A and B are shown apart, each in its own frame.
Chain A
Amino acid sequence: EIVLTQSPGTLSLSPGERATLSCRASQSLSRSQVAWYQHKPGQAPRLLTYGPSFKATGIPDRFSGSGSGTDFTLTISRLEPEDFAVYYCQHYGSSVNTFGGGTKVEIK
C-alpha cells in the first residue's frame, strides 16, 4: 500500500495569509491521482481538488492543487475564516485507497 505523509502537522496562520500544505507519497504516483479534502468538526469531509489540479464543483478559486511523482501540494492563496480546518490528501484510483495523516490549519 502507498503511504502518504503530510506536513506540517499543524499550520498556524492568520486570515489573509497563504497556506501551503504538503503530501508526500511513499512511491511515485504515475497518474498523479491525489485528491485533497477539507474536514471540519461535526461535518462530513468535503472534496476540494483532484487529479491533482482540478477543482471539485463549487470550490473557491483560492484553493489549488499541484504536484507530480511523490510530492503534492494544496495551496490556499488567502485564508478566509471558514478555511480553518483539517486537510487530508488521498491517493485514489487503485484498488486500495489511502489518506494522509492530515494537516490542521489553525488561527494564529
Chain B
Amino acid sequence: EVQLVQSGAEVKKPGGTVKISCKVSGYRFTDYYMHWVRQAPGEGLVWLGLLDPEEGETFFAEKFQGRITMTADTSADTAYMELSSLTSEDTAFYYCATSSLLLPSFDLLDFWGQGTLVTVSS
C-alpha cells in the first residue's frame, strides 16, 4: 500500500523558514516525481513545485522562485520542502503528492500525504 506521511504542524514567525518532510512507503521512491501543493484557508489549491528524487532536479511555480527548496534523502525514502521568508500569506495546509504506475504522466497526482498545517504568526 502506498503511503505518504508528512511531518507535524508548525508555527513560525514572519521572516522565518519552515521545512516539511514527506516519508513514502509502498513504492520505489525514485520512480516518481514528488509534487508539493498548498491550500490557504478559504482558498484553492496552489501548485508549489516538483522534485525528481532520482536526479535531484526541481521545478518551481514562478511565485515561489527564490524562496523554496525541495530535496530528497533517498536512503530514507523522504522528500523535503523548505519555504523561507515566511509571511502570514504562507499560512496553509501543505501537501506532498505523487503519481502511480497506472497513470501516463508523473504529474498526475494519485497519492497524497495527509497535509501539514503551517501557521505564520507573530
Contact = CB atoms under 8 A, between A and B. Distances in A.
Interface residues of A, number: 25
Given A33-B105, A102-B45, A97 B35 contact: yes
Nearest to B104: A51
A98 B104 contact: no
A44 B115 contact: yes
B110 to A, nearest CB: 6
What does DSSP make chain A's interface, helix, strand, loop or mixed?
loop
B107 interface: yes
Interface string B96-122: 010000111101111011110000000
A97 B108 CA distance: 10
B61 A1 contact: yes
Contacts of B109: 37, 45, 47, 90
B103 A56 contact: yes
B44 A92 contact: no
Contacts of A97: 35, 47, 50, 107
B118 to A, nearest CB: 17
B59 interface: yes
A92 B47 CA distance: 11
A60 interface: no
Contact of A44 (B60, B103, B105, B114): B114
B95 interface: yes
Contact of A99 (B47, B59, B105, B108): B47
Nearest to B59: A95
A100 B103 CA distance: 21
Interface of A: 1, 33, 35, 37, 39, 44-45, 47, 50-51, 56-57, 86, 88, 90, 92-93, 95-102
20 contacts: A37-B45, A37-B109, A44-B95, A44-B114, A44-B115, A51-B104, A56-B102, A88-B44, A88-B45, A90-B47, A90-B109, A92-B108, A96-B47, A96-B60, A96-B61, A96-B62, A98-B61, A99-B44, A100-B44, A102-B44
